[in-house]
Structure 1
Amino acid sequence: MINYVYLYLVSPLHTGGTTQEGNLLGIARESHTTLPYIPSSTIRGRIRASVSDRVQRIQLFGPELDDIKNFAKDYQAATEKELKQLEQGDIWVGDGSILWLPVPSLSHGIVWISCPMLLERWKRFCSIEDAKVPVDYSTNISNKGHVYLKDAILENLSDWPEWKSFVPQTPETTSIKQLLVLPNQHCTTLIQMSLWRQVKIKLDDHKSVQGGFRYEEAIPPDTLMYFPWGITSQANGTAQASQTKFEDLLSNNQILQIGGQESLGRGFVQQWLGNNTSNQGV
């Protein structure tokens, strides 16, 4: 069974990418869509670090070399299991994907955008088979005569009365009200244009600029994302217990800091367990 967790970005989030173009430090991107995402290793590492009980940490996420060297006997005494080599734990964690991303609008303030591809991807994890992914240019905006998004002017938009099926109806998402579904290609372009770019400089001992400027990309706050998770085949006889422990772990850490620049207030997200029944419109 595949479960999922929602992430609502409280502040801009930067996860390091593999390339740097000129003075622009990019973020992690999917190779086939070029859309920003959060690597599963980043999410897993952050959640793992929040577990104080070492036995539970090894059971859920697997051991590290230090655990095998210094904790094998204690772990065996607590679980009656030997700890001899690196192996996976009971929980697997997937990549974080965008569901809705906010963009500025001259006509409507803020509009959250997505596309059929992203909505189809999310729908695979949810029990909403009866909800049909909307066609391009569908919206729930009431005054939709002309919608201005950056360099685009949109008109002749289609009504989307079933929009609540594609937004979790929880207190965390009450601000997500004006939605617009764009074609896949146009959505990717607009997301790229809407990323935060922070200018950074380095000062020398005399407070003078040393070197040139550098720009860092970040996913904007108020973006709604999610990541899937589940139980591995390693969880032989402990699946239900491990699932309960992981859910309790998430419930006790509703605010997480993911990525770098924690001292600058970057990467803070509010997370909560996905609930299939909460996705249904009311």
Structure 2
Amino acid sequence: MFKQSSIMFLYAETSVHLGGGESLGAIDLAIQRERYTDFPVGASSGIKGAVRDWFEDFGKSSSAKAEDHWDKKIKLTFGPKNDPASEHASAASFTDARILLFPVKSLKGVFAWITCPLVLQRFKRDLMVAGVGNSWTVPTVSPGNVVGSDKNQNRTNGNKVVLEEFTFDFTSEDSLSRIAEWLKTNAMPNRDEYKFWKENLETHLLLVTDDDFKDFVKHSTEVQARVKLNERKTTSGNGGNLFYQENLPTESVMYSLVFTQHILGEKPNNWGSEGDVMGFLKTVNGKRIQIGGDESTGKGIMCVRFYSSPSVDVQKDKEMRK
């Protein structure tokens, strides 16, 4: 039974190919999508594997190497690999990464981060699961309209917003400012180079309808034409060499819930409580990990931000809710 919980945000610094989705139409390599919403999603196994790779390949800084039992802690936190995988379960669990903010081209302001009531309501529910409180409410939005803060820079002089080739009426809501402020404080990477992006979140955040959001995340992803080469590095071959790959665009924001329990295997130096495991995982906070395919072509670079408050004791939180 998992005892502590937190939430991990993932900010896409390059386009991300979360491959394995069902390929339809002209796209040969589609991204993963939820079956019932068609929203982009990242499988929990891929998220967990990417975090583990960071600890194994990039986490061994001079200070980490000096720490006792670093490799042992990785094994106990993420579970054994390959044949001995039946020794014990991992002490950490990750949920599928869900989309929170999606960037869309805008006539003014270059681009806007869009979200929708369904995404925000589900996010509020996930925050409660993670034991994270929030005081903001999700406003309503009518078809043909978008909602933003009174500081929004995507609207035209006629109080319209043009996203891709679609025009919407703009309505300002204070609640969007509160949502943007919460995301700026708790979800955006807490690094100096993100100061600009944090300041632009409130001025570029828009709420669209659930149906409009579904259309944008389905038809406004990045589609890249690629050429497959043979062993002689030429394009001649059977069946053609041109194929199309779908990517989640840069500046997308996703999140995953993280749960920990006490170590089930042999504990090194009395290390192994659920708090120890969560603290170990938060070593990756503020770091960059690679998720998805095409690592050698620069895809999948995402910056990690863990929610900054202390992790919540899941059992105590359940008792308080009774």
TM-score normalised according to structure 2 size = 0.73
Partner deviation per Cα, 1:4-57 (whole Å, 9 max, x = no partner): 111110100001124222551111111111111111100101112233433112
Alignment CA distance shift 1:59-1:261 (3 Å): same
Alignment CA distance shift 1:262-1:65 (3 Å): closer
Which position in structure 1 is the counterpart of 2:42? 38
Alignment CA distance shift 1:113-1:235 (3 Å): farther
Which position in structure 2 is the counterpart of 1:207? 234
Which position in structure 1 is the counterpart of 2:304? 271
Which position in structure 2 is the counterpart of 1:138? 147
In structure 2, C-alpha distance between the alignment counterparts of 1:206 and 1:273, rounded to whole Å: 43
1:90 Cα shift? 1.1
Alignment CA distance shift 1:22-1:132 (3 Å): closer
Q: Which amino acid aligns with 1:13?
A: V
Counting only pairs closer than 5 Å after superposition, residues 1-282 of structure 1 correspond to structure 2 as: 1-24=4-27, 25-52=29-56, 53-67=70-84, 85-124=86-125, 125=127, 127-136=132-141, 137-140=146-149, 141=152, 144=155, 145-160=159-174, 161-169=177-185, 170-171=190-191, 172=194, 173-174=197-198, 175-176=200-201, 177-204=203-230, 205=232, 207-210=234-237, 211-232=240-261, 238-248=273-283, 250-251=284-285, 254-275=287-308
In structure 2, C-alpha distance between the alignment counterparts of 1:15 and 1:191, rounded to whole Å: 14
Aligned residue for 1:21, secondary structure, equals coil
In structure 2, C-alpha distance between the alignment counterparts of 1:139 and 1:119, rounded to whole Å: 14
1:230 Cα shift? 1.1
Identity score, percent: 24
Give yes or no for contact 2:262–2:273 (8 Å, CA) kept in 1: no
1:108 Cα shift? 3.0
In structure 2, C-alpha distance between the alignment counterparts of 1:152 and 1:11, rounded to whole Å: 26
1:100 Cα shift? 0.9
Partner deviation per Cα, 1:110-146 (whole Å, 9 max, x = no partner): 1110001111222231644421112223212156311
In structure 2, C-alpha distance between the alignment counterparts of 1:23 and 1:156, rounded to whole Å: 34
TM-score normalised according to structure 1 size = 0.82
Which position in structure 2 is the counterpart of 1:72? none
Give yes or no for contact 1:17–1:29 (8 Å, CA) kept in 2: no
In structure 2, C-alpha distance between the alignment counterparts of 1:184 and 1:233, rounded to whole Å: 39
Structure 1 gap ranges (5+):
69-84, 278-282
Alignment CA distance shift 1:87-1:148 (3 Å): same
Give yes or no for contact 1:200–1:213 (8 Å, CA) kept in 2: yes
Query: What is the root-mean-square deviation in Å for CA atoms of aligned residues?
Result: 2.5
Aligned residue for 1:229, secondary structure, equals strand
1:107 Cα shift? 2.9
1:91 Cα shift? 0.8
Give yes or no for contact 1:131–1:165 (8 Å, CA) kept in 2: no
Q: Higher helix share goes to which structure?
A: 2
In structure 1, C-alpha distance between the alignment counterparts of 2:309 and 2:138, rounded to whole Å: 16
Give yes or no for contact 1:14–1:218 (8 Å, CA) kept in 2: yes
Aligned residue for 1:168, secondary structure, equals helix
Aligned residue for 1:16, secondary structure, equals coil
